[in-house]
Amino acid sequence: MTDPAVRRPIRGSSVLPGRRTELTLHTADGLRLVGEIALPVDRDPVATVICLHPLPTHGGMMDSHVLRKASYRLPALAGFAVLRFNTRGTRSIQGMSEGAFDNGEAERLDLAAAVEHAEFAELPGVWLLGWSFGTDLVLRYGLEPTVRGAILLSPPLRAASDADLDAWDSSGKPLTALVPEHDDYLRPEEARSRFARVGQAEVVAIPGAKHLWVGDTERVLDEIVTRITPQLAVPLPRDWAGQMTTADSSMYAQLDKRIVAPAPEKT
């Protein structure tokens, strides 16, 4: 039995207490998507994060490491509900969502299904968290009425157009882009120029970071919490007293290394 007085470091595979439930999202075109919702154990959530994963044809899925660590930690550390799911045709350990990858087109229905589930479940304060490919889904399709704002990890701005950025500007909804200093696709200086179209957008350069965020999960989670619940002190705790289990992360090791954005199209 774990001694509640002993604090142990939170590691990459540490799973803090939470109510985790498998779920099935239903899209408007009749597909069933594999997902999970993680909730705080002993209280109602104070906010909700819907995660949009990286490119599935390059290893992206609902268990991509930053997203699964958000589900492992944020219910306990921040009181968040964390909803993750596989977009159409995407496989993870939890299973494979129906349908086929559509290069970010029909995936608009997948995002809508996730937001709809949050609405029906009466989850509070819905925010979108996109990573790489997932950021284009957020920018193109994320302006749902119940969405309060969005956080983008390593946005390549490949599919999102100036018109999409202008729509976010007109909405006035908070938009934060966390941009790695050494990103393979869009680095901070160019990101600031591109996102200048969105008056309220905040571009945060993360020194030393790369597209995959390996070794930078704690910084990313702190930035997420600061944007959604600024009243909560950061950095988040790096250790934990009480129940804490360890996930088997070995099955994801190679997949995490494959998460990349698509190469820019040649002109």
Question: pLDDT for 111-126, tens place per residue?
Answer: 999 999 999 999 999 9
Q: What range defines the domain where residue 28 resides?
A: 7-257
Residue 266 falls within a domain, yes or no? no
Residue 201 lies in a domain: yes
AA letter at 183: D
263 within a domain of the structure (yes/no): no
* Domains of the chain: total: 1
Position 171 in a domain: yes
How confident is the model at residue 260, as a pLDDT?
Answer: 41
Q: What is the pLDDT of residues 30-56, one digit of tens each?
A: 999 999 999 999 999 999 999 999 999
**247 within domain boundaries:** yes
* Alpha helices (runs of H) in the chain, residue ranges in sequence order: 65-78, 107-120, 133-141, 162-171, 188-195, 217-228, 253-257
| Domain presence at residue 190 | yes
Q: What pLDDT sits at residue 4?
A: 61
Q: Which residues, other chains included, contact 262 with Cβ-Cβ below 8 Å and sequence gap of 6+?
A: 55, 57, 58, 133, 156, 158
Residue 265 falls within a domain, yes or no? no
Burial class from Cβ neighbours inside 10 Å (0-12, 13-18, 19+) for residue 13 reads: middle
What pLDDT is recorded for position 254?
55
In a domain, 267, yes or no: no
- pLDDT number for residue 195: 98
What's 57's domain CATH number? 3.40.50.1820
First to last CA, the chain: 61
Query: Which stretches in the chain have pLDDT values below 50?
Result: 1, 256-267
